């Protein structure tokens, strides 16, 4: 297999097509299948020891004066060039050779060295100038391409995308998975190309790649042709660095879907400098790792990771549940009011709180959606309620700790919503995470509780999904429109009375007690409500419609 990289210079084939060599009527007499080898430079020489002067990748031009007269000398000459790794040997026919000897041709063929003979004399200086110009132009084009990727990475950082967005840009450009790891090889974040950029094959899952191909724990190296680039950490002793090397992290670009080209290495090297600045901020490595776990849980919820592949990928992230059921939990923070840099504090605080529970836990963060997805391994289904209590307490405590560290006050902000899904296997965990995430959004604005059971909020979820449908707004207007009009222009408002009355299933004594009203005042308000709505508050169908309308009102306003 030819290992020369086509982007390191121009190919032998391209060099033969340039005017200088084309005018010599080139004839390929050996290894015509290897003309895609890269020409790194051009060298012309006639001395027998020319191989010792070369570094590899050269296109060697000669008239054959140094090849020797005996077949043994000629074979040794060609073998040394092949061992040196030159791109191709071009021999100009003339006074020395009218046609290349079979010893030269056969040795080149067996050594895998492209061999070309020129039937006309050509000025070697012209060939050298033309090829070198092509090489320099090619390198300039690569630099421009790498600079364009670096510009996109910089724009992503300036727009607040952070390290995950930079790694995603690199993965799309390179067509291979890209990883950010600590100096000692622990995964911080993984990104892979999307379907849109994978024209030549299926999309690879980066976590699956990390588990199956990276193999650090088994003493294996990365796939051949992969690239590891150090992300500097600000000098020896910097936080998060390893030893005295000043390396804070590494970018690993693995050659999985295709080869890593020189332009890819250039792009990664430029991105490493930008990431170094990002990681100098406090807890950035922790937040990246938490985001990576959040991405895994989100991909699991959305079905992008199958139940069969999920356990192995979860192990990569440090989650090793037993044989018991898995419990999905999601916390939704209103309006994503978690300061930049506090997500890491939140994730760590939750994980530390839950460590005392004694169950395996995987905590991730999704800052854009304002969510903290969690997956726990239970010993049995009977633990669900007790563990849910501890999880909800830990999540709220973690949020308070993150706020205290950042100096944030949440007065007047809706409290976080914690939703606990159904316990089950990996397939159930996938559906449970998705259900809990949606329900957590739909439950915002309900009476605050330590946690909500996702199974008891299906009506709220259904109404939330219909929130933009015009029929839902029309239904609310028909059912309670007159009350809304009344409350906008008169006091006391009647909607709270109706909500409390329905919440207590029509029990007037309990309703009056909660509203701090005497019986007669409550009766008068209920009569006024019935009059405005033109309905009977004792009719079961009316009660059902009013209950749904009051719930739907939160979503359509």
CATH number of 295-456: 3.30.70
Q: Which pLDDT score is estimated for 527? A: 92
- Overall CATH class of domain 156-280: alpha beta
Token pair, residue 9, equals 């210079």
CATH 1.10.10.2840, applies to 470-556: yes
* Strands across the sheet containing 41-44: 26-30, 115-118, 88-92, 58-62, 41-44
Which pLDDT score is estimated for 238? 42
Report the greatest alpha carbon distance in the chain.
Answer: 124
Measured distance CA(361)–CA(351) in Å, rounded: 7
Reading the chain (557 residues) residue by residue, the pLDDT tens digits are 343 444 456 889 999 999 989 999 999 999 999 998 988 889 888 888 888 888 888 899 999 888 888 999 999 999 999 999 999 999 999 888 888 999 999 999 999 999 999 999 999 998 988 888 888 777 777 778 778 888 888 777 766 667 788 888 888 888 888 888 887 777 888 888 875 444 455 566 788 777 765 544 444 556 667 888 888 765 444 444 444 456 778 888 888 877 888 888 888 888 887 787 777 664 577 778 888 888 899 989 998 888 888 888 888 888 888 889 999 999 988 755 565 567 777 888 888 877 777 888 999 888 888 889 999 999 898 989 998 998 888 888 888 877 777 666 665 567 888 999 999 999 999 999 999 999 988 888 788 889 999 989 888 889 888 888 899 989 999 999 999 999 898 889 999 999 899 988 889 999 999 999 998 999 999 999 999 998 889 889 999 999 999 888 888 87
Domains 10-122 and 470-556 share a fold: no
Cα separation, 65 vs 62, in Å, equals: 8
Q: How is the chain split into domains, by residue range?
A: 10-122, 156-280, 295-456, 470-556
Token pair 């999309």: residue: 203
> 10-122 belongs to which homologous superfamily?
HprK N-terminal domain-like (3.40.1390.20)
343 touches 291 (CB < 8 A): yes
Residues whose CB falls within 8 Å of the CB of residue 179, separated by 6 or more in sequence, listed in order? 167, 187, 188, 189, 190, 191, 206, 210, 214, 251, 252, 254
């Amino acid at each position: 297999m030819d290992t020369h990289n086509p982007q390191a210079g121009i190919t032998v084939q391209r060099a033969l097509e340039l005017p200088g060599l084309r005018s010599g009527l080139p004839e390929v007499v050996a290894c015509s299948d290897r003309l895609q080898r890269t020409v790194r430079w051009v060298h012309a020489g006639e001395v027998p020891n020319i191989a010792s002067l070369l570094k590899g990748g050269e296109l060697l031009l000669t008239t054959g004066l140094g090849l020797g007269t005996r077949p043994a000398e000629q074979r040794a000459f060609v073998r040394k060039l092949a061992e040196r790794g030159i791109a191709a040997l071009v021999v100009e026919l003339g006074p020395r050779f009218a046609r290349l000897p079979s010893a030269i041709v056969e040795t080149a063929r067996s050594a895998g060295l492209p061999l070309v003979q020129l039937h006309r004399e050509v000025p070697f200086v012209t060939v050298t100038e033309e090829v070198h110009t092509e090489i320099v132009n090619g390198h300039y084009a690569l630099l421009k391409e790498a600079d364009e990727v670096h510009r996109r990475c910089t724009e992503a950082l300036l727009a607040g995308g952070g390290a995950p967005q930079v790694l995603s840009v690199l993965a799309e450009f390179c067509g291979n998975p890209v990883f950010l790891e600590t100096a000692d090889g622990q995964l911080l974040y993984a990104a892979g190309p999307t379907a849109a950029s994978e024209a030549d094959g299926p999309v690879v899952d980066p976590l699956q790649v990390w588990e199956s191909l990276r193999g650090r724990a088994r003493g294996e190296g990365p796939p051949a042709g992969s690239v590891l680039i150090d992300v500097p950490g600000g000098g020896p002793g910097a936080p998060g660095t390893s030893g005295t090397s000043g390396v804070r992290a590494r970018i690993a670009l693995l050659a999985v879907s295709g080869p890593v080209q020189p332009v890819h290495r250039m792009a990664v090297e430029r991105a490493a400098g930008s990431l170094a600045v990002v990681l100098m901020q406090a807890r950035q490595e922790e937040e990246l790792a938490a985001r990576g776990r959040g991405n895994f849980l989100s991909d699991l919820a959305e079905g992008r990771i199958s139940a069969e592949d999920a356990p192995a990928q979860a192990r990569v992230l440090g989650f090793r549940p037993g044989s018991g059921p898995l419990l999905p939990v999601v916390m939704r923070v209103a309006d994503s009011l978690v300061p930049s840099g506090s997500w890491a504090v939140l994730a760590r605080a939750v994980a530390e709180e839950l460590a005392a529970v004694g169950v395996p836990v995987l905590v991730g963060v999704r800052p854009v959606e304002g969510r903290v997805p969690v997956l726990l391994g239970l010993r049995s289904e009977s633990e669900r309620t007790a563990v849910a209590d501890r999880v909800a307490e830990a999540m709220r405590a973690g949020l308070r700790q993150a706020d205290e560290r950042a100096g944030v006050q949440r007065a007047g902000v809706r409290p976080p919503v914690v939703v606990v899904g159904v316990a089950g296997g990996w397939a159930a965990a996938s559906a449970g995470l998705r259900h809990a995430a949606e329900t957590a959004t739909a439950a915002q604005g309900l009476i605050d509780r330590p946690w909500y059971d996702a199974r008891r909020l299906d009506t709220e979820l259904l109404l939330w999904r219909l929130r933009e449908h015009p029929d839902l707004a029309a239904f609310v207007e028909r059912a309670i429109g007159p009350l809304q009009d009344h409350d906008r222009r008169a006091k006391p408002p009647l909607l709270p009375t109706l909500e409390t009355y329905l919440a207590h299933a029509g029990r007037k004594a309990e309703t009056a007690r909660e509203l701090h009203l005497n019986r007669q005042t409550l009766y008068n308000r209920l009569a006024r409500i019935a009059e405005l709505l033109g309905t009977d508050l004792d009719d079961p169908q009316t009660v059902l419609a009013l209950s749904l309308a009051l719930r739907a009102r939160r979503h359509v306003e």
